[in-house]
Structure 1
Amino acid sequence: MPETLTRFDAGVLTLTFDRPSSRNAMTPAMYEAVHDACERADGDAAVRVLVLRGAGTDAFVSGTDIRWFTGFTGADDGVAYEAAVTRVLHRLEDVQVPTLAVVRGHCLGGGLALAAACDLRAATPSARFGVPIARTLGNCLSPSTHALLLHHFGPARCLDMLLNARLFTGEEAEAIGFVQRLAGEDELETEVDRLLDGLRTHAPLTMWAAKETQRRLRRQNVPDGTDIVARVYGSTDFRAGAEAFVHKTHPRWTDHPPR
């Protein structure tokens, strides 16, 4: 069964994450489908907007499928995974046409990163945004992904999200400017259509210049953090967290920061 669906209509290319029984948790093939959709959007002049959405109402994307992590054998796997995710997020940021994430339900971990890499977001009040890995997996974000969330949420909210495993509501996400259109379930598609009507007709070069300038400004000071990622993904806590998540138990954290 395909894990994503692609549709093109009236200038809008839509990629739908289609694993509702797993809350649209991302597999390697799904991340690659995002990259492919970006390539198509930039390679076809008929595409004016790229939209990402999740099937069903429970989740946009609930994160990366944890079964992927259980196959990791050490730090190198974690470094390679974060590099693969960064490649896709950068490609999504690089798309030359406007990009929009339509969010219902959970938008967590890798899902939050995908939504943050889009230019605009529309959501319902019941949407939940966060990266609760401090109480679930015990892994970390790459500096590039951390910088992306920092860009949108600011230092204090970003640390609140990561240290306290806090989830922001749709209303909170709108209040801080992360969500541009907030509407109830019955009204969300109407709001999305209004957004798309404008994006399809506004000056393409003007929109591209705004996107490109902001992308360059955001990325210019992102440091290398391979040592951070390797330290965390190579830890016993991460392995314990992944196993506990799969078996629906609570992990017992034993590792400590380097001294």
Structure 2
Amino acid sequence: MSYNNILSETRNGLTTITINRPKKLNALNKETIQELHEAFKEADNDSDTKVIIVTGSGEKAFVAGADISEFADFDEYNGSKLAAQGQELLFDYVENLDTPVIAAVNGFALGGGLELAMACHFRIASINAKMGLPEVSLGVIPGYGGTQRLPQLVGKGRAMEMVMTAGMIDSNQALEYGLVNHVTTEEDLIPLAEKIAGKIMRNSSVAIKGAIRAINANYRDGIHGYDVEIEEFGKCFGTDDFKEGTTAFLEKRKADFPGK
């Protein structure tokens, strides 16, 4: 599939999705959000894709925010609709994908950009990365899940400060906060993401899907995460991956998971 604002490449079990609007610092407009949805959907449905990496083109930005020109004249109804549609189409969608998604944060990840990174299953960052939710400086609040995911990742107090000050933190502070898992040089960002992806791909994709569902369940109101864990744990026993994994362990050899 061809896109106007993103690039998608699949190689050796890894799909890399690159937001490609460098002149706009990769800002998210409606078309880009739709294209990202389609690219993530295509990758998740591709049995050959075991891990997805999402990053931004150029050296300045992962995603520098949403395209403000598209909603500057919205009223209350259209504002609520914008947030609801965006969350359903991209941010919640990414969080709940069965395929692991790594955000490789290069440069600015602000507003919707940080919200996209936080929707991914985990994040790594280049040393020049800057992250923040500056929405209150525009008279609005984060609307793509930022007020929910940021406290889950860094704690309530730090999230309150980041949102209320509209300030940015650098990559080392993000690492200290637990917002990112690793920090590396700009040159080594994608190679590190690919190295981690390689470690993931050695394991059972079926079990990983179950683990994602169980971990996410812990953060949903009205759902008992332990019950989901028990359910997903039980499902594993009916899979070919479980048979291969346990047989390989007993035979003292490396598992060759069929992915089913």
Residues 80-131 of structure 1: per-residue CA shift (max 9 Å, x gap): 1100121121110111011011111100111111100111211112101110
RMSD of equivalent CA atoms: 1.7
TM norm structure 1: 0.80
The CA distance in 1 between the partners of 2:73 and 2:130, in whole Å, is 28
**1:62 aligned residue (61, 64, 72):** 64
Q: 1:89-104, aligned counterparts within 5 Å?
A: 89-104=91-106
Where structure 1 has 5 or more consecutive residues not aligned to the other structure, the ranges are 223-259
Structure of greater relative contact order (alpha carbons < 8 Å, 6+ residues apart) = 1
Separation in 2 of the partners of 1:113 and 1:93?
Answer: 11
Identical pairs, percent: 27
CA distance in 1, matches of 2:107, 2:182: 15
Q: Which moved more, 1:145-154 or 1:163-172?
A: 145-154
Task: Report the count of equivalent residues.
Answer: 220
- Following TM superposition, where does structure 1 have runs of at least 4 consecutive aligned residues deviating by more than 4 angstroms? none
Preserved CA contact (<8 Å) 2:25 2:60: yes
Residues 208-250 of structure 1 show CA distances to partners (whole Å, capped at 9, x for unaligned) of 222111212212269xxxxxxxxxxxxxxxxxxxxxxxxxxxx
Contact 1:41 1:95 in 2 (8 A): no
| Mean Cα deviation higher: 32-41 or 21-30 | 32-41
Alignment partners' CA distance in 1, 2:117 and 2:144: 17
> Would the alpha carbon gap of residues 7 and 141 (structure 1) be closer, same or farther in structure 2, given more than 3 Å must change?
same
Q: C-alpha distance in 1, partners of 2:144/2:193? A: 31
Q: Which residue of 2 aligns with 1:164?
A: 165
Q: Which has the larger radius of gyration?
A: 2
What is the CA–CA distance in structure 1 between the aligned matches of 2:40 and 2:92, rounded to whole Å? 10
The whole-number CA distance in structure 2 between the counterparts of 1:145 and 1:121 is 15
- State the Cα deviation string for residues 125-160 of structure 1 (Å, max 9, x = none): 21011101222x111134944111211121011001
Structure 1 segment 27-38 matched on structure 2, within 5 A: 27-38=29-40
Write the letter of the residue equivalent to 1:193: E
With over 3 angstroms needed to count, the CA separation of the structure-2 counterparts of 1:77 and 1:8, relative to structure 1, is same
- Gapped regions of structure 2 (runs ≥ 5): 224-260
TM-score of the superposed pair, with normalisation by structure 2: 0.80
